[in-house]
Chain A
Amino acid sequence: MENEFLNIYGAKLVEYGLAVVYMILFVGYWRWVQGEPAPGTNPDPKRAGRAS
């Protein structure tokens, strides 16, 4: 038998799952944005040193 009042847990599960995925991706994205590309991997090496 389906209990209507338990449905909210499904929504909460998605919310918490989304938050965990976000935090994992955020840490990686933060490090990627803040980091310097490895030597030789800059797609436009002419401008590589200009803003550093």
Chain B
Amino acid sequence: MDSTAVAATASWQVWFREKILLGMDLRTYLRSLFTPLNALAAVLIVFGLTVLVYRFAAGLGASTNLSQAQPWGLWIGFDMMSGIVLAAGGFTLGSAVHLFGMHEYHPIVRPAILTAFLGYVLAVVGLMADLGKPWNFYNMMVTPGSASALFEVACCVLMYTTVLLLEFLVPVFEWLGWRKVHERLEKAMLALTVLSVVFSTMHQSALGSLFLIAPAKLHPLWYSPYIFIFFFISAICAGISMVIVEGSLTHRIFQHRITGAHADMDKLQIGLGKAGAIVLFAYFFLKMQGVAEGEHWDLLLTGWGAWFLVEIVGFVLVPSLLYGYGARYKKVKLVRTAAVLTVIGIVLNRLNVSVIAYNFDKPTHYVPSWMEVSMSIGLVTLGVVAFRWIANRMPIMSEDPNFAGGEF
């Protein structure tokens, strides 16, 4: 081996050690992975992935409690519907910063985009598991059903995931030190942000439009001809709230990864709380309009009505007021509590629409199998572990100082 080859190998080893192994040698790094939390995460991920393999080997019938009467279950209600809506922080914050000029929120854009990217990737994995023949998915592009809401969802999710990948590549190129391609991508970022808003607006609402063909199957309190508007507005609520929840956790856990001046997270979160209060307030009245439009006031006095009120009062109106009070009196803990309640509420809404209140009048009701639950838990754990792996290595919490000065 000549001296150039030896030097190249040594430089690659140094790069691998610094960038992948966090400056440790392989043995020390592997030893550092043996922690109780990592062990638990490994068990959950391996278990979930085993179920995923079993689903493809044995089929949906053997691994889920789905049926012809109930073709959508936990993988659609939680992995897909909730995963997509909770990933709305990417486009909400991206548009606030890059389109509306709210540059003070710039320090929390990258974690939001990474969360959104991982959320979409895992939602697509969940969707693939739920499709009967996922290998036929390319047909939607070959023979597009342009009048179908499902086509709009599939097409926009595909394109928005690509946009998120490109947005995520900015910190990846900083990490790799690829200056030229980084500069080119930065120049395209404004266009990518515009595309992300367009695609998100389309598919977040189209996910609601899917239920327009099932007015008799979905409970009248959740069904409305305006359901696509509810889905879009609630996606903005979820996006704002997820940014607060995720920012509270990551800013504390990855504090050591922040270079330069630390952003005042309390101030940013109180600002987001103001937006959350206003949007949730509007969402609450829109849901009331849905009840008024269908003249379903009498249904509020039934068991389903009580459950509906739990959702829209407990997880929409109450968080809105908490956001408002917390933002006005600068009580950041109240703002964070409201964010957690909103996230729970929006997930509950998606589960209500697609699983719980769907086929509400059938004699037997769908309950997810243990395999469906374990795969969903495994995918969420995989997302958390992937976020941690990336944030520990790449400039997610703050920009690489060598690349500083860029807008994104």
Contacts and interface: CB of A to CB of B under 8 A. Distances in A.
Interface string B17-40: 000000000000000000000000
Given A26-B282, A29-B281, A19 B289 contact: yes
B292 interface: yes
B2 interface: no
Contact of A51 (B285, B295, B330): B330
B293 A50 contact: no
Interface in B281-296: 281-282, 285, 288-289, 292-293, 295
Given A11-B292, A15-B289, A50 B328 contact: no
A20 B39 CA distance: 56
Interface of B: 264, 266-267, 270, 274, 277-278, 281-282, 285, 288-289, 292-293, 295, 323-324, 327-332
Contacts of B264: 51
B293 A37 contact: no
A18 B297 CA distance: 13
A12 B282 CA distance: 19
B199 to A, nearest CB: 29
| Closest 4 pairs (CB-CB, A-B) | A22-B285, A51-B267, A33-B324, A51-B330
Tell me whether chain B's interface is mostly helix, strand or loop, or mixed. helix
Nearest to A41: B329
A4 interface: no
A11 B330 contact: no
B332 to A, nearest CB: 7
B292 A33 contact: no
A15 B196 CA distance: 33
Contacts of B323: 33
A11 B295 contact: yes
A36 to B, nearest CB: 8
Nearest to A15: B292
Given A14-B295, A26-B278, 15 more contacts: A14-B292, A18-B285, A18-B292, A19-B289, A22-B282, A26-B285, A29-B281, A32-B324, A33-B278, A33-B328, A34-B274, A37-B329, A42-B329, A42-B330, A51-B270
A50 B282 CA distance: 28
A15 B327 CA distance: 30
Contacts of A37: 328-329
Nearest to B332: A51
Given A15-B292, A15-B293, A32 B328 contact: yes
Interface in A10-52: 10-11, 14-15, 18-19, 22, 25-26, 29-30, 32-37, 42-44, 47-48, 50-52
Contacts of B327: 33
Nearest to B265: A51
Contact of B329 (A25, A30, A34, A43): A43
Nearest to A22: B285
Nearest to A7: B295
Nearest to B324: A33
A33 B274 contact: yes
Contact of B293 (A11, A32, A51): A11
Nearest to A30: B278
A52 B332 CA distance: 12
A36 B184 CA distance: 43
A29 B331 contact: no
A12 B304 CA distance: 24
A29 B324 contact: yes
Q: Select the residue from A29, A36, A37 with max chain B CB neighbours within 10 A.
A: A29
Contacts of B295: 10-11, 14
Contact of B281 (A11, A26, A35, A51): A26
30 contacts: A10-B295, A11-B295, A14-B292, A15-B292, A15-B293, A18-B285, A18-B288, A18-B289, A19-B285, A25-B281, A26-B278, A26-B281, A26-B285, A29-B324, A30-B278, A32-B324, A33-B277, A33-B323, A33-B324, A33-B327, A34-B274, A37-B328, A37-B329, A42-B329, A44-B329, A44-B331, A47-B332, A50-B330, A51-B332, A52-B330
